[in-house]
Chain A
Amino acid sequence: MPLPTQTTRLEAIRPLSPRVREFLLAPPPEPIHFLPGQWISLQLPVGEKPPLVRAYSLAEPEDPSGRLVLALDLVPGGLGSGYLFSLAPGAEITFSGPLGNFVLPDPLDREIVFAARYTGVVPVRCMLRHLAARPLPVPITLVYGGPTRDELIYHDEFVAYAAREPRFRYLPILREPDPAWDGPVGEEIDLVRATVAGRPRDYRPMVVGVRAFTQPLRAFFREEIGFDRREVVVEHYD
């Protein structure tokens, strides 16, 4: 008995950067209820043995309209993203879910330090949009690394949120120098280290991105900082 699937339509596409787009899906026949940070599983009619199953994070929290928003990058040679980027509004999308355990702690009773790389920030953005409806109950720090300034998706939104929410600290970093960037450049892990150095383990680390990013961060929080494995919440997508 596989997980039930349903089919909806692609309503609109919004470019976030040269490589990342948001995909707005019409309200599905069966409304889904999800936690910010969760993802849905798409069944795409491509590949040698369709369907090709690929999971994408929801970028917007649950909305009364029932619309769903995904955000993903076009990966060179990527079957799933290549197919989705070829679609026009009106196309059918079959999916199951929501799924996923990368969600806000409940209760939210201590600071969260997020470390996200590139499109790994999508589920974090969903959580922040959810939290932004009211004053933050705990401090939240986001260390967020991108390849270039124009691929640092949702950057302006995070800057604006940090300007109005005193408990939200936004720490972007680019991995390579960029003429359009006067902020920090380097490895995210070094910025994370500088951010949490010398402080007690009174926060929850949440790490999301490709494994080349999440594995060193998990090891850092465990081996250098002393967290237990279960205390470090990790999501990766490769």
Chain B
Amino acid sequence: MPGRGEATMGGSNPYIKQAEIRLPQKPYQIKFILRETGEERIVTVDPSKIPYGRTGQPGSILDIALAHDIDLEHTCGGVCACSTCHVIVRQGLASCNEATEDEEDQLEEAPGLTIQSRLGCQCVPDGTMEVVVEVPAWNRNAVKEGH
């Protein structure tokens, strides 16, 4: 949409609840389990490199995955407007920011939803725990086709 992903008319408003995001202060590791291929990858997150790119919340699992050539679908461009970057945080979920209602809305559309499910573009670990992330095999049902 509208230069999705790139805010143009911000403004402060008392209704806004900023999701609390704490960025890591020291290096930590994320293990990615890629269900599609069975591959496992361990990456070390360097706090000084956050944001790695310009997609997803800075320091998000998506931001980290893309920087390390881990193919995590993100058709909306990492702005919490679809569910294709659905991941399951098997370990370290307590070290991540809480999901917002916007994220919950999108997650409800994700196939194979679990209580540890998050959107990769919105889930930001704070580096205080090791994190294990499962990337489910991609599922066409993530996409609501036209009529």
A interface residues (Cβ-Cβ under 8 A, vs B): 1-3, 32-35, 38-39, 41, 47-49, 52-57, 62, 71-75, 77-81, 96-101, 117-120, 122-123, 147, 175, 187, 189, 208-220, 229, 234-238
Q: Evaluate whether A236 and B102 lie within 8 angstroms (CB atoms) in the complex, with A3-B143, A33-B146, A49-B66 already known.
A: yes
Query: A215 CA to B13 CA in the complex, in Å?
Result: 9
Q: In the bound complex, do residue A54 and residue B4 qualify as a contact, i.e. CB atoms below 8 Å apart?
A: yes
Contact residues, B53-102 vs A (CB, 8 A): 53-55, 66-67, 69, 71, 73-82, 84, 101-102
The reply on B5 being an interface residue by CB < 8 A is yes
Q: Evaluate whether A2 and B102 lie within 8 angstroms (CB atoms) in the complex, with A73-B2, A117-B9 already known.
A: no
Query: A213 CA to B7 CA in the complex, in Å?
Result: 10
Query: How many residues belonging to B are interface residues under a CB distance threshold of 8 Å?
Result: 49
Residue among B5, B8, B80, B144 making CB contact with A99, cutoff 8 Å: B144
B2 to chain A minimum Cβ distance, whole angstroms, is 3
Q: In the bound complex, do residue A99 and residue B76 qualify as a contact, i.e. CB atoms below 8 Å apart?
A: yes
Q: In the bound complex, do residue B17 and residue A210 qualify as a contact, i.e. CB atoms below 8 Å apart?
A: no
Query: A105 CA to B14 CA in the complex, in Å?
Result: 30
Q: In the bound complex, do residue B138 and residue A2 qualify as a contact, i.e. CB atoms below 8 Å apart?
A: yes
Q: How would residues 14 to 27 of chain B score, 1 for a CB under 8 Å from any chain A CB and 0 otherwise?
A: 11110000000000
Q: In the bound complex, do residue A219 and residue B15 qualify as a contact, i.e. CB atoms below 8 Å apart?
A: yes
Q: Name B68's closest neighbour in chain A (CB-CB).
A: A49
Residue among A120, A216, A234 making CB contact with B105, cutoff 8 Å: A234
Q: In the bound complex, do residue B15 and residue A78 qualify as a contact, i.e. CB atoms below 8 Å apart?
A: no
A207 to chain B minimum Cβ distance, whole angstroms, is 11
Q: In the bound complex, do residue A55 and residue B10 qualify as a contact, i.e. CB atoms below 8 Å apart?
A: no
Query: A100 CA to B4 CA in the complex, in Å?
Result: 13
Q: In the bound complex, do residue A56 and residue B6 qualify as a contact, i.e. CB atoms below 8 Å apart?
A: no
Q: Name A96's closest neighbour in chain B (CB-CB).
A: B75
Q: Evaluate whether A215 and B17 lie within 8 angstroms (CB atoms) in the complex, with A55-B77, A147-B9 already known.
A: yes
Q: Across the interface, which residues of B come within 8 angstroms of A72, CB to CB?
A: 1-4
Residue among B9, B76, B82, B137 making CB contact with A210, cutoff 8 Å: B9
CB-CB nearest 10 A-B residue pairs:
A119-B2, A216-B15, A237-B4, A57-B1, A34-B146, A75-B6, A41-B75, A78-B6, A33-B146, A238-B7
Q: Across the interface, which residues of A come within 8 angstroms of B14, CB to CB?
A: 216
The reply on B109 being an interface residue by CB < 8 A is yes
Residue among A101, A118, A229, A236 making CB contact with B8, cutoff 8 Å: A118
Q: Evaluate whether A33 and B79 lie within 8 angstroms (CB atoms) in the complex, with A72-B1, A122-B1, A213-B9 already known.
A: no
Query: A237 CA to B4 CA in the complex, in Å?
Result: 4
Q: Across the interface, which residues of A come within 8 angstroms of B39, CB to CB?
A: none
Most buried by B among A1, A55, A57, A74: A55
The reply on B38 being an interface residue by CB < 8 A is no
Query: A118 CA to B145 CA in the complex, in Å?
Result: 26
Q: How would residues 125 to 139 of chain B score, 1 for a CB under 8 Å from any chain A CB and 0 otherwise?
A: 000000000000110
Q: Across the interface, which residues of A come within 8 angstroms of B53, CB to CB?
A: 47-49
Q: Across the interface, which residues of A come within 8 angstroms of B79, CB to CB?
A: 55, 236-238
Q: In the bound complex, do residue A74 and residue B3 qualify as a contact, i.e. CB atoms below 8 Å apart?
A: yes
Q: Across the interface, which residues of A come within 8 angstroms of B77, CB to CB?
A: 41, 52-55, 80
Query: A56 CA to B6 CA in the complex, in Å?
Result: 11
